[in-house]
Amino acid sequence: MSVTIESVLAKYLPAECVRECASWIVHKNIHLRITGMRASKLGDYRPHPTGNGHQITVNHDLNPFAFLITFTHEVAHLVCYERYGHRHEPHGREWKHHFRELLLPFLDRGIFPPELAQFVYAYLRDPGASSCSDPGLMRALRKHDERGNDTIVHLEDLPEGSRFKLAGERSRLRFEKGPRLRSRFRCFETDSGREYLVSAIAEVLPLQEAPPAASATS
């Protein structure tokens, strides 16, 4: 049995927009890759490395509304690349225009629940590089996540120096929270020391560090 684009998208998107998003993939020659959870981004766009079409990745763990916003965000980058090449700012005037143009029809058709739609409309007045940059929108989106873990907290609620892992993260990566930089925190992967910028309202699982072993005395 063959797997269709629409049947794959139906696992991640609101049902009402699956056909249109599938049409984008076909007509714009998009290679869509669903990835694991990433600490630093929800999705990304780049011309396909083979030179044949475009590549978009989106994190697998997003709820349907967050997935739709992220996928549309990346398609707007694709449109900008087709029209302007590299002659535009990544999240500048051109990208904002095309992102609004692509996402507003979904809003106007009532695909987003009213309590969420008001935050999406507000975000679209001046959209940023990530929906994570808008705390109101991010919190509204989080209400539609499937969660059942009372130990999950927001990164901003942990004191600096705390160790944590990202909620929903399947890997064994552990992080230490560093200083705040506007809407994100500098965080450091504890084994490698690699730096990540993590949203202040990212959902995390605090880690209880084991106390050091007592040394024997003679």
Across the chain, the runs of DSSP E, i.e. the strands, are: 30-35, 43-47, 54-59, 153-154, 163-166, 175-181, 184-189, 195-199, 203-206
The arithmetic mean of pLDDT across residues 55-61, rounded, is: 94
Minimum mean pLDDT range among 45-49, 63-67, 143-147? 143-147
A 10 A CB-CB count for 203 gives: 19
Over pLDDT 90: what percentage of the chain?
A: 62
pLDDT tens by residue, 78-93: 999 999 998 889 899 9
pLDDT tens by residue, 138-163: 889 988 887 655 567 889 889 999 99
Distance, in Å, from the CA atom of 168 to the CA atom of 97, rounded to the nearest integer, reads 33
Q: What's the count of helices (H) and strands (E) in the chain, helices before strands?
A: 6, 9
Over pLDDT 70: what percentage of the chain?
A: 89
pLDDT tens by residue, 177-188: 999 998 789 999
Confidence (pTM): 0.76
A 10 A CB-CB count for 93 gives: 9
pLDDT at 105: 96
Give the residue with greater pLDDT, 129 vs 190. Answer: 190
pLDDT at 202: 82
